[in-house]
Amino acid sequence: MTLHQNLIGGEWVGSEGRDNINPSNINDVVGVYAQASAEETKQAIAAAKAAFPAWSRSGILERHAILSKTSQEILARKAELGELLSREEGKTLPEGIGEVTRAAQIFDFFAGEVLRLAGEIIPSVRPGVGVEITREPIGVVGIITPWNFPIAIPTWKIAPALAYGNTVVIKPADLVPGSTWAIVDILVRAGLPKGVLNLVMGKGSVVGQTMLESKDVNAITFTGSVGTGKRVALASIEVGRKFQLEMGGKNPTVVLDDADLKVAVESVAQSAFFSTGQRCTASSRVIVTEGIHDKFVEALSERIRNLRVGDALHKDTEIGPVVDASQLKQDTDYIAIGKAEGAKLAVGGELVKGATEGFYLQPTLFTEATNQMRISREEIFGPVASVIRVKDYDEALATANDTEFGLSAGIVTTSLKYATHFKRNSEAGMVMVNVPTAGVDFHVPFGGRKASSMGPREQGKYANEFFTVVKTAYTAAG
């Protein structure tokens, strides 16, 4: 099988590889992907540093053309790339194709942003002096991405980094290198100069650690666990590096007595279980007022029982496998914890035997949970959700905010009064009214509060806050 190599300084290099395994069928090897050493990572950083002066001063039409061409090829190959994504990560084929489409849209958006680069010219308080405020690229950007969105998250970090004139060293998650490799390959063939984008696949303890220790990495954008995020922050502070962290979530969906039952059930089902619950925006705490509680639990339980779990590529599959054996064990461990804590297992919780050997788990719903249980406090990152019964809206809001996280929060209600109040008082970076907590647009800010995020927002025009630095210039007319 062909070895997919790392890209360093415009050259494909590497001789040792790791198998990329399909979680729907562990006997299916998606591909073999190179593992970078610490020395190769240092070479990639050096290449990015060397390429920065020219790329940061490149013409906006050159950057626009490369990003636009990349967008067009991704969209033209969405079926092929969607299948690759679904094979290596396990989300269903429609979800995989949808994510690839989003990647194309992101590159298209930032191709446009290149042509919209702007600053300000304002008068000084001193007569005869002019003031210009501009944004400039920050330098070498290190990118560390997770496994749950193998093409979207690398894209929404790479595209703005390049659009604003930075050079890049990217380390994708070791479980899902294929999608990032494909994006890098497309960018290279779209005309990206050597050294501007460098791909170093491999272990976080080797590649990621080398990036953290390097003083030549001027900024790091990271999406992953809270624990690793803290290490990124501490290491970056040590060397005076800019950092951006997107980490965990324990996102609530509030269902009020006046909610449309059908809308509530579908919103929660989509938020909690689709993409196998492996989304940082997934809603794993469902906070339901007592008037609608029993009807809602009955209807949601029926919806869950009818969800079809299976091979990600099969057309009838609604819920694919968990990404790997380690994540499956984490999910089943939390199911055992929920039972031990006294929550009622209403639906699911069992392993599923498929036509091929994979990491299949029934979507799982606990009821009679409290907000103090571990299953209500800690991020499980699987198709497991808990229903918490509350008296009224005030208790629901307090319960929703009672968490160390603050990424996404939802409410299902027909009351303009409660919807408006929740939008203002929810302690989350993103608030959803009558729509799933998981599912966001590509052209608006993405990010949270509290332990969920640190640093500037991602996506949309707000991305320039991380990927650029502000310069103020004063000029006397003479």
Write out the catalytic residue numbers: 246, 280
DSSP SS3 for 244: strand
Rounded distance between C-alpha atoms, residue 52 and residue 86, angstroms: 34
Rounded distance between C-alpha atoms, residue 53 and residue 66, angstroms: 18
Give the dihedral of Cα atoms 222, 333, 151, 467; nearest 10 deg.
-10
Amino acid at 413: T
Amino acid at 87: R
Strands 384-390 vs 364-369: parallel, antiparallel or unpaired = parallel
Residue 242 · residue 399 · CB < 8 Å: no
Please enumerate in sequence order all residues whose Cβ is within 8 A of that of 469, keeping only pairs 6 or more positions apart, or say none.
135, 136, 137, 138
Rounded distance between C-alpha atoms, residue 307 and residue 326, angstroms: 23
* Backbone phi and psi for residue 315, each to the nearest 5 degrees, phi listed first: -65, -25
Please enumerate in sequence order all residues whose Cβ is within 8 A of that of 264, keeping only pairs 6 or more positions apart, or say none.
255, 292, 296, 300, 412
**Helix pair 290-305, 261-273: axis angle to 10 deg:** 60
* Backbone phi and psi for residue 314, each to the nearest 5 degrees, phi listed first: -75, 140
**Chain-centroid distance, C-alpha 343:** 30
DSSP SS3 for 380: coil
Rounded distance between C-alpha atoms, residue 454 and residue 405, angstroms: 11
Which neighbouring-strand residues pair with 219? Answer: 141, 242
CA 176 to each of CA 29, 36, 86, 89, 181: distance values in angstroms, whole numbers, following the listed order: 12, 15, 10, 6, 9
Rounded distance between C-alpha atoms, residue 110 and residue 119, angstroms: 17
